[in-house]
Amino acid sequence: MSYGLGILKGMSVTLKQFVESYTKKGSIVTVQYPEERREDVERFRNFPILVYDEKPEAPRCVACDICAKECPPKCITIVRDRDEQGRGLQKPKVFDIDLSVCMSCGICEEVCPFDAIFMDHQFELSAYDRMESLNYHQEKLLKPNSYLHQIRPTDATQIDAKLKAKEEAKKKTQPGTTA
């Protein structure tokens, strides 16, 4: 065993990177943020958003509460919407996420059976108070499917195809529909 070999190896990597930053194009790994920005990778995740297809009043979310139950720090609050007779509707009346508590784990996206919640790329969300400003309500969380296509084109295209196939299969099983 030779003492100090690890330090020398580490220093040689540092020296190599230092020299390459002057001699090799594309080897600088830092950028001058905010003037310069790195290109996002599709699966980059920050905080969740809710997706709607045609109009924000009809989100994909059916208020099943699964994401709120599975969220480790319990920062999702959902209240199901109701009609005039008090019957539960398949959409949330309240859907809040406390971003000051959210740990960006992505579990809500993974467990949602309705492809309604996704991790966003937006990270410049600083605020002066960490209570109300960071408690995002449904109106602020809702984004159109076109936005999902913008940030996650591969996933959004696959999900569209899946939802379309599901819709067609449903139509075929409805009474009075011929295959």
Applying CB under 6 A, the residues found at the interface with ligand SF4 are: 48, 61-67, 71-73, 75-76, 78, 97, 102-108, 112, 114, 116-117
C-alpha to C-alpha distances, 32 to 38, 74, 118, 156, 165, nearest whole angstrom: 10, 36, 29, 31, 45
15 versus 79: smaller Cβ distance to ligand SF4: 79
Return the number of the residue (23 or 64) whose C-beta is nearest ligand SF4: 64
Amino acid in the structure at residue 22: Y
The CB-of-41 to ligand SF4 minimum distance in angstroms stands at 17
Nearest approach, Cβ of residue 38 and ligand SF4 (Å): 22
Torsion-angle region of 26 (φ positive above 0: left; ψ -120 to 50: alpha; else: beta):
left
CB closer to ligand SF4 out of 80 and 149: 80
CB nearer ligand SF4, residue 71 or residue 142 = 71
Minimum CB separation from ligand SF4 for residue 81, in Å?
Answer: 12
DSSP 15-74: HHHHHHHHHSTT------TTTS-PPPPTT---SEEEEESS-TTSBS-----HHHHH-TT-
CB 171, min distance to ligand SF4, A: 21
Q: How many CB atoms lie within 10 A of CB 56?
A: 13
